[in-house]
Amino acid sequence: CYTPELIHQFDVSDKTVVVIDVLRATSCMVAGLGSGVASITPVASVEECEALGAQGYVMAGERNGEKLPQFHLGNSPFDYMEKSLKGQKIATTTTNGTRALYLSKDAPEVIIGAFLNLKAVVNHLSKSKRDILLFCAGWKGKYNLEDSLFAGAVLDGLKKQAEFDSDAATAAFYLYQSMGKDPYYFISRSNHAKRLSKFGILKDIEYCSRCNEFDVVPKLKNGELVV
Ligand code: MLT
């Protein structure tokens, strides 16, 4: 599924859903939980995030790529790796990533994917007995390069091309085959990378393009992400 706008075409009720927002929501979640954050609660609105903030959660997130002034953290993986966050609970709201998570909530298993935990995700999925839905968060309903490239990387890792049941999966697989050798080169040409580079955060784009920095598979459990 290349964007949340298409999710109604899929039945998530019997699938393992991998939510993908490489720039940057799911990369932040992997970096945070891989660095010792206790849990991350994704919420749809700024108000919900503030309500959790009043209960002691660290508030994180962005709108249109920019940190909200009243929040403690923005949406950079470097924010999430701060030593002081070890053992803390984070509440986050983002433009696309947390929306995709909300739309996956009826699935029996929801996990978080990013290049930062690619190998761990592939290992986990290779043992799965369920059908798998790779759910790209996209950008405001549109297709994006970075999430599609990651979907292709997962398909490449699973090595089960014969079982792809959609042209969408086949297209992602061949995208990765042709462009996956250097994810940073390709991702830095994406629209969202251009958007983020206007805020001077090239280091986030480079970091989110790295593979296998963390051996964790964050899972949604009772509304919060944990490992
Ligand atoms: C999102 O959820 O839309 C993003 O992670 C945007 C960003 O902060 O880069």
Distance of alpha carbon 117 from alpha carbon 23, whole angstroms: 14
Residues with CB under 6 A from ligand 1: 21, 23-25, 62, 65, 75, 94-97, 137, 196
In a domain, residue 157? The reply is yes
| pLDDT tens readout for residues 163-181 | 788 899 999 999 999 999 9
Query: What is the whole-number distance in angstroms between the Cα of residue 12 and the centre of ligand 1?
Result: 23
Average per-residue pLDDT for the chain: 95
Domains: count for the chain: 1
State the pLDDT confidence band at 161, using cuts at 50, 70 and 90.
low
- The pTM is what? 0.96
Which residue range is the domain that position 212 belongs to?
4-218
CATH number at residue 143: 3.90.1560.10
In a domain, residue 225? The reply is no
Query: What is the whole-number distance in angstroms between the Cα of residue 129 and the centre of ligand 1?
Result: 31
Would you say residue 16 has pLDDT above 90?
yes
- Percentage of the chain beyond pLDDT 70 is 99
Q: Ligand 1: which atom is nearest the Cα of residue 62? A: 8
pLDDT at 160: 75
In a domain, residue 226? The reply is no
Average pLDDT over residues 211-221: 98
State the pLDDT confidence band at 197, using cuts at 50, 70 and 90.
confident
Average pLDDT over residues 68-90: 97
